Amino acid sequence: MQLASFFRTLVAGLALLSAGAAFANQDIVETARSAGKFNTLVAAIEAAGLTDTLKSQGPFTVFAPTDEAFAKLPAGTVDALLKDKAKLTKILTYHVVAGQVMAKDVKPGKVTTVEGSKLNITRGNYGVKVDNAQVVATDIAASNGVIHVIDTVIIPN
């Protein structure tokens, strides 16, 4: 990653993290919408019919790809996914883990997603990765869980 890109990502992550306390009384969907960096994710949640689920009591841990993460997908991918509810739902629920897992509690290894597959969490000098996605901000509290920001959309096998 280029140094300038790294710092932009870091600054954006810190801004989201510092805003986390302001979102604590909003659910995950409202928090993502208010943050302003997850417009594609929110549109996908709505298209998949998952809004009510992610507004429910939970708690949930969401590994939330930013708009920039969605933009890294090949051209036309997002539009195609928005038209394929089953595939979109599979991908989105792969980004969600039941329960509220704060950054300090994350352990390397496999964790089962709401989709049913297992995410691989690794930790090293690079920080924390979820499959191939870098975690760029953590612990954005919502009333029904927590959001950890990732830089890549993760796709289940």
Note the pLDDT tens digit of each residue in 118-151: 999 999 888 899 999 999 999 999 999 999 999 9
| Total structural domains within the chain | 1
Query: Is 69 part of any domain?
Result: yes
User: What's the pLDDT band for 59 if we cut at 50, 70, 90?
Assistant: very high
| pLDDT at residue 24, as a whole number | 65
Query: Is 155 part of any domain?
Result: no
Q: Enter the tokens of residue 87.
A: 């595939």
31 burial type by CB count under 10 A (0-12 exposed, 13-18 middle, 19+ buried)? buried
Task: Report the distance separating Cα 71 and Cα 86, nearest Å.
Answer: 21
- Residue pLDDT, tens place only, 106-120: 899 999 999 999 999
Query: Is 156 part of any domain?
Result: no
Domain of residue 37: give its range.
3-150
Query: Is 101 part of any domain?
Result: yes
What average pLDDT does the segment 59-74 reach? 97
Question: Is residue 74 predicted with pLDDT exceeding 60?
Answer: yes
Phi, psi of 43, deg, nearest 5: -60, -40
Average pLDDT of the chain is: 87
12: domain CATH number is 2.30.180.10
